[in-house]
Amino acid sequence: MAKQRSRPTRRRDTKKGGPGSGRRKSCGFCRDKIEQVDYKDVATLKKYVSDRGKIRSRRITGACRRHQNQVATAVKRAREIALLPYVGDNREDRDERGRPRRDDRDRDRDRER
């Protein structure tokens, strides 16, 4: 027969806060009653694009399905007419060969090994 534990185990459903809990973000476009996302509004579109130039997902931005599709189309149109870049400017993070540059922390960690 299995040995009984002396102390009670912590249940996962008693956890408060943390990732996955809380309210879902409301769509900013629905909140402001915006029907159509404008591709010329670069300041708004930059909120929906990462620093590397990728379009952020609905889970991250909190946009509804309809407006997320409009944001994606607007970002693509803005890129086409050069209002937004296709890729972010991360040249300082890369060496001359295009590989990620190593920080001092990485070098120190390698020395300890």
Q: Where are the beta strands (DSSP E) in the chain?
A: none
- Is there a domain that residue 71 lies in? yes
- Is there a domain that residue 92 lies in? no
- Residue 99 to residue 106: CA distance in whole angstroms: 14
CATH number at residue 41: 4.10.640.10
Q: Per-residue pLDDT tens for 41-59?
A: 999 999 999 999 999 999 9
- Is there a domain that residue 61 lies in? yes
Q: Per-residue pLDDT tens for 57-110?
A: 999 999 999 999 999 999 999 999 999 999 987 666 667 776 777 666 666 666
- Is there a domain that residue 52 lies in? yes
The number of domains in the chain is 1
55's CB contacts (< 8 A; 6+ apart) are: 48, 49, 71, 72, 75
CA neighbor of 31 nearest in space, from 73, 64, 74: 64
pTM exceeding the 0.85 threshold for the entire prediction: no
- Is there a domain that residue 24 lies in? no
Q: Per-residue pLDDT tens for 2-33?
A: 777 676 666 655 555 566 667 778 999 999 99
Give the structural domain span for 46.
Answer: 37-87
